[in-house]
Structure formats: structure tokens, C-alpha cells
Chain A
Amino acid sequence: QITLKESGPTLVKPTQTLTLTCTFSRFSLSASGVGVGWIRQPPGKALEWLALIYWDDDKRYSPSLKSRLTITKDTSKNQVVLTMTNMDPVDTGTYYCAHALIVGVPYWFAPWGQGTLVTVSS
């Protein structure tokens, strides 16, 4: 079955850049209708969509975070990388990557990775 796993630092300092890698298996990010998204969740709060990369390398970003985010894919390595610049303590939370099923414009996520907790603190 499809699996995804996030990796990256657990602690970053304010103003630093966060780089997270999503390593997946059992699907191809070259296949039409497939994407990988990043979603985060501050402790005790709701899910927040961050970014999505499509099979054709199209990319979408959260409007409120667009200036800080970059999403890329390496199809040969089955990896998607998210970078977030100028980290702040409010960016603390669990970061998830997820496989996206894209039907034209709408999409949904299944399955999700286990998530990785990132703490921003000096």
C-alpha cells in the first residue's frame, strides 16, 4: 500500500529555514491525477493546508505563506521537499505530507504520513 514519511529537524531557531522531506512509496508522482501535499497542525489546533505539487510539476501555495514556501519533487528518488523560510515560534506544530488524488481541480488526501513535530525556539 501507499506509504509516506516525513523527515527533517525537530528543532529550528527563529529566522532559520526549515527543510522537510517526504519520502513515499508505491505510487509515482509522474502519474496523471497524483500529487503530494503538505499540511501542518499547531498543537491543539486545526489542520492548515500549506502546499501541493502536481504530477506535472504545477505547484500551489497557501496565499498567507506563499512568500515563505517552496515545494519541489524528485521523481527518481520518490521524494517531495518543502522549505519554509524565516521560521517563527508560531510555526511550531506537526507537519504532515499526504498523497493527493486530484480530480480536475478538487482533490483529497489519502493516505497521510505519520507527521513530524517541528518546534521553533531559540
Chain B
Amino acid sequence: DIQMTQSPSTLSASVGDRVTITCRASQSIGSWLAWYQQKPGKAPKLLIYKASSLESGVPSRFSGSGSGTEFTLTISSLQPDDFATYYCQHSETFGQGTKVEIK
């Protein structure tokens, strides 16, 4: 089974900061990675699919990169609405999540 490991588990940042979250796969998965944002009490929302494709309606400050075993989600300028938990996913496997909190 493929394992997905996210880092860090928690990230403290300020509005306007550039934020990067990493997701590592235990074996190569090509570009088949998705990123989700989840706010408390809400369902996850797809942000990025196929490692770097931006889902329709998602702000352009979100971007994804990587292939093989290492992937990143970048928020270019953190906005108040972006404080949430982020998950990576490859098919049946989710990462453990990264909580982005206010510094």
C-alpha cells in the first residue's frame, strides 16, 4: 500500500505569508496527487488535482507542484479565509493533514 506523509503537521503563519506544505509518497505516483482544504465543521474542498491543475473557482494564490514521490502545495499570500486544514490524496490514501493556524 502507498503511504502519504505530510509535513508539517501544524504550521503557524501570518496573513500575507507564503506558505508551503509538503506531501511525500512511499513510492512513485507520477502526477496523480490531489490537495483538499477543510474548514472546521465543513466537508473537504478540492483545490488541486493531477499535482498542479487548479480546480475551477479556486483562487490563483494556490498552486501545486511535484511528481514522483514529492509534492508541494503553495499559498503565495495567505489570506484570512485560508486558515484551515489541508490534505493530500492519492486515490485511496489521504495524508494525515496540515493545520494552518494564525501566528
Contact = CB atoms under 8 A, between A and B. Distances in A.
B55 interface: yes
A96 B95 contact: no
Contacts, number: 56
A38 B34 CA distance: 16
Given A47-B97, A63-B1, A114 B90 contact: no
Contacts of A48: 94
Contacts of A110: 45-46, 49, 55
Interface string A42-66: 0000111100100000001011000
Contact of B43 (A49, A108, A115): A115
A117 to B, nearest CB: 10
Interface residues on B, range: 20 to 34
Contacts of A101: 49
Interface string B43-84: 111100110000100000000000000000000000000000
Interface of B: 1, 29, 32, 34, 36, 38, 43-46, 49-50, 55, 87, 89-97
Interface of A: 39, 46-49, 52, 60, 62-63, 96, 98, 101, 103, 105-115
Given A39-B94, A46-B96, A47-B97, 19 more contacts: A46-B87, A46-B95, A47-B38, A47-B87, A47-B89, A47-B94, A49-B92, A52-B92, A103-B32, A107-B91, A109-B34, A109-B46, A109-B89, A110-B49, A111-B43, A111-B45, A112-B43, A114-B43, A115-B43
